Amino acid sequence: MLRTLAIRDFVIVDAIELDLSQGFTVFTGETGAGKSILIDALTLALGGRADASVVREGASRADISAEFAGEFSPALLAWLDEHAVASDEGSVLLRRVVDNGGRSKAFINGVAATMTQLRDLGEMLVDIHGQHAHQSLLKADAQRQLLDDHAGLQEDAKAVAAAWRQWRALARQREEFERDARNVLLERERLEWQVGELEKLSPRPGEWAEVSNEHSRLSHAASLIEGAQQALNLLSEDDAAPMLSQLTSIEQKLAKLADIDDKLKPVLDALEPARIQLQEAVYGLNDYLGRIELDPDRLRTVEARLEALHSAARKFHVSPDELHEEHLRLSSQLRQLSDATDLDALRVHEQQLADAFHALAARLTKARTKAAKSLSSAVTAAMQELSMAGGRFEIALNRGEPSAHGVEQVEFLVAGHAGTTPRPLARVASGGELARISLAISVIASSATATPTLIFDEVDSGIGGGVAEVVGRLLKKLGRDRQVLCVTHLPQVASQAGQHFQVSKGSVADGRTVSRIAPLGSAERIEEIARMLGGLEITATTRKHARELLAS
């Protein structure tokens, strides 16, 4: 529900802050006092159009804030999370600022927002019914949604939408194949050849590095053998004086000298690890020479494999070590293309999905037809009480092209008087009629709509007497489940409200006219209702009548 509405420097409002409650609230006052300005300001906070004319004369900017609180719908909470604007306090604060140059800024819970975001969120919070305001019931999507919600067909509608998406996705795939059949076949032939080439080669993961290392070793085998043998000779097999023998001789000499002077002991200790390391090197070289050999046949085999891998890499425009991954990638593409180009299978599957969609859509149509008759009768009956005797409300299900919403278009039709042909709700000429019809629909379908706040501006246009009392009762009934705000000229409507605000004009020190608003207590309500009954002159009779209205 709308908890507070703060308006500053908007048209003829300098500063107003309203604390609103649940239930039915009315705004009354003399013509021109600025009652509808409150609705206009809220509309602006909900993402309505704005220009410099909304800024109060002499002010730099208009600033409107609307705070909503209470239990929000799952869809609204999901929207807040999706756009990262959820509040820790569990409330929603919409703010709109318009400067005197016509530039506008919007905020949701203190976070800068676009006008589209403000409007999308606003439509989930408030539904405004009035002659000069946006009304969701004029939208074809909203009419279909209201009918489905009223009949509890949300899950059926979702199933139809899901079946439609699956059917159309496969249909587009089949159409694309038929359109590009030759290109697809050529692509498949190309892939088959490429995959065949790579299957013959059968590159293994890491094979390039492995083969390169083996080739390097085999191609340098003679040099490796010669070098290792020379090193071994110098270390231990030289006829003259191998290093290992010389080092052993040096150790022996120093050992004798260390017995004479122990200062040579550290030198002797340093030589011993060196001799051990040289001995290990000799063992290693003997082992290496025992294993390595010249193998010209193996070298030719490795060179051929190396050339085959290198040639394939050039052909497929990849590096040699990427050939295995390229083989996997092309094989996957070929499998997908082969699956997708089975035209007969595609057509059979497409028909199956089409049949599934039409079966679900037919079930939805049947349920919608039943619900449309019930809702049409209820709204038509309500119109008779709302000064539209002979009027008729119909919900037409117009057969159309299949879509995500089924096989029909839902359209609300209205005949304002007996003998007239029902026309689309959006084309109803009278704003007052439109507001009253919307009121009737809203009351009857109130259990279906998730919008927590409903606003009715000038719903009493062209009615009075007993009809006005009916309107008041309907609004009061609607206020049991929703927050209802209403701008009214009728005492019969105002007397039904649980909260009553009076809007009036006043002057400030510099002579400018400003709009004022004040909540009314019991005694003040009697005076305001009496004024609405009797005009400028309030008599004891009008006060008595006012008390009777409030008491009833």
Residues 343, 181: Cα–Cα separation, whole Å: 10
Decide if 21 contacts 499 (C-beta within 8 A): yes
Measuring CA to CA, how many Å separate 402 from each of 186, 349, 389? 35, 18, 37
Burial (CB count <10 Å: 0-12, 13-18, 19+), residue 163: buried
Check: CB of residue 472 under 8 Å from CB of residue 12. Answer: no
**pLDDT at residue 133 greater than cutoff 60:** no
pLDDT of residue 132: 45
Whole-number average pLDDT of the chain: 85
pLDDT at 207: 87
Among the ranges given (39-53, 263-277, 347-361), the one the predictor scored with the smallest mean pLDDT: 263-277
397: alpha, beta or left? (left if phi > 0; alpha if psi -120 to 50): beta
Q: CA angle, 384 as apex, 378 and 388 as ends, to 5°?
A: 120
Sketch the domain layout of the chain as residue ranges: 2-159+355-520, 202-339
Residue 131 pLDDT exceeds 60: no
pLDDT digits (tens, 9 = 90+) for 397-412: 999 999 999 999 999 9
CB 28 within 8 A of CB 528: yes
Residue whose structure tokens are 């706040």: 453
The answer on pLDDT for 440 being more than 90 is no
Burial of 404 (0-12, 13-18, 19+ CB in 10 A): middle
pLDDT score of 435: 64
Give the highest mean pLDDT range of 84-93, 135-144, 222-231, 370-379: 370-379
| Residues above pLDDT 90, as percent of the chain | 30
Q: Using alpha carbons, list the distances in angstroms from residue 303 to 77, 322, 527, 549.
A: 68, 19, 109, 108
pLDDT tens per residue across span 273-299: 888 888 888 888 888 777 766 666 777
pLDDT confidence tier of residue 96, bands split at 50, 70 and 90:
very high
| pLDDT for residue 339 | 61
The structure's pTM equals 0.58
Contact, 7 vs 64, CB < 8 A? yes
Cβ count within 10 A of residue 497: 25
**pLDDT above 90 for 98:** yes
Res 461 pLDDT > 70: no
Average pLDDT of span 344-360 = 92
**Kind of pairing between the strands at 499-507 and 513-519:** antiparallel
**Euclidean distance between CA atoms 278 and 36, whole angstroms:** 104
Q: Over 50: is that where the pLDDT of 240 sits?
A: yes
Residue 353: pLDDT band with limits 50, 70, 90: very high
Least confident residue range of 10-19, 179-188, 476-485: 179-188
Asked if the model's pLDDT at residue 381 lies above 50, the reply is yes
- The CATH code of domain 2-159+355-520 reads 3.40.50.300
Among 166-170, 413-417, 460-464, 482-486, name the one with the lowest average pLDDT.
460-464
Q: Is the pLDDT of residue 124 over 50?
A: yes
Would the CA dihedral through 446, 448, 453, 458 be positive or negative? Answer: negative
Residue 133 or residue 484, greater confidence? 484
Position 141 scores a pLDDT of 87
**In terms of pLDDT, which residue wins out, 339 or 482?**
482
